[in-house]
């Protein structure tokens, strides 16, 4: 498995990666991750369902995905762990509001 080059990633993900790459101290990177978690909008309790729960995580984490009016994918997430919530926030900020893209060779 090879990693995708950063310049092929979504612009929001590129920004997040560059931000973390610019931080030299591991503790500062950790604090940045906690900052993301503390600033993630809480998921409404009605969406903290078994179907949205990420199985296999030590911490409880929920991820909700839906399409907005423009057919863009929107992600929402939450966790009781601030660190896990920070990781979820990276996904939410980096991947939300993106149009659905068909894989090469897929039909539909």
Stated as kind and residue range, the H or E segment containing 21 is: helix 11-22
- Residue 61, strand partner residues: 79
* 3-state SS assignment for residue 24: coil
- Respond yes or no: is residue 16 known to be catalytic: no
Q: What is the DSSP letter of 52?
A: G
d(CA 55, CA 81): 15
CB 58 within 8 A of CB 36: no
Catalytic residue among 17, 34, 57, 73: 57
Tally of residues, the chain: 108
Q: Catalytic residue numbers?
A: 57
């Amino acid at each position: 498995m090879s990693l995708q080059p950063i310049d092929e990633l979504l612009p929001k993900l590129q920004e997040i990666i560059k931000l973390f790459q610019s931080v030299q101290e591991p503790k500062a990177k950790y604090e940045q991750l906690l900052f993301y978690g503390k600033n993630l909008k809480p998921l409404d309790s009605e969406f903290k369902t078994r179907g949205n729960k990420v199985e296999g995580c030590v911490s409880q984490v929920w991820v909700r995905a839906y399409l907005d009016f423009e057919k863009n994918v929107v992600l929402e997430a939450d966790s009781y762990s601030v660190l896990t919530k920070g990781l979820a926030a990276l996904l939410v900020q980096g991947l939300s509001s993106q149009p659905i893209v068909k894989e090469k060779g897929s039909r539909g």
